[in-house]
Structure formats: C-alpha cells, structure tokens
C-alpha cells in the first residue's frame, strides 16, 4: 500500500495563476502545506517559492491578454479606456479653475469659520 498523495498539478498551477497561497492550495487539495512544498521540489524540480512566482507571472499574462482581447475583439469600451490609462498613460482631462484670492481675505474667511 502506497502512502504517496496524488497531486493534481494542473489544479495547483491554475490556483497559483489566480494568486492563491500555498496554504490555500494545500487546504483545497486536502493535504498539509509541507507535503505540497516537498512534492513540488520532487515533481516539478523547483522549490515552491520559485514555482509559485513563475505561475503567478503566467497568471498575470493570461489576465492581461484576456483584458486586451475584451477591449479589442469584444469592443469593450470601458476596458479600452482602462487599458489606455494603464498602459498608455492616458487620463481624463480635468478643468481646474484657479481663483485669485487675496491672502487677507483667506485669513478673514478662516477666522469666521472658527467662530
């Protein structure tokens, strides 16, 4: 009888791409987190920290690609605007009205609000 736990690495990878922690993944799989970490080294030939970092970055890439596809292919205007702000430095124009106020008037206004 074998005592080796079967780990679904596809599920682990998907959860890491979604930025789940090792503790969360282990709980979902019904194993101890130390088991997950040691099996990662054995099965994936990487320590869990490196494996997690690699898969999280791939998750970010998948999400960016999905957002881009939504903006372009699906013509999602809100996503186009958001990506323009995030990636292209675009911003909403803000009209700022500057009023010249005499410093003495400001002091009078401040004193009235303290009364």
Q: Is the pTM of this model over 0.95?
A: no
Do 59 and 53 contact (CB within 8 A), yes or no?
A: no
User: From CA 87, how far away is CA 80, in angstroms rounded?
Assistant: 10
pLDDT in tens, 63-89: 999 999 999 999 999 999 999 999 999
pLDDT in tens, 23-52: 999 999 999 999 999 999 999 999 999 999
User: From CA 47, how far away is CA 19, in angstroms rounded?
Assistant: 17
């Amino acid at each position: 009888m074998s005592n080796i736990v079967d780990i679904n690495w596809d599920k682990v990878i998907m959860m890491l791409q979604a930025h789940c922690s090792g503790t969360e993944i282990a709980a979902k799989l019904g194993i101890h987190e130390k088991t997950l970490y040691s099996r990662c080294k054995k099965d994936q030939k990487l320590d869990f920290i490196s494996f997690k970092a690699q898969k999280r970055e791939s998750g970010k890439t998948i999400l960016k690609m999905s957002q881009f596809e939504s903006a372009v292919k699906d013509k999602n205007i809100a996503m186009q605007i958001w990506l323009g702000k995030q990636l292209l430095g675009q911003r909403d124009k803000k009209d700022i009205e500057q009023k010249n106020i005499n410093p003495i008037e400001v002091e009078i206004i401040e004193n009235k609000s303290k009364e």
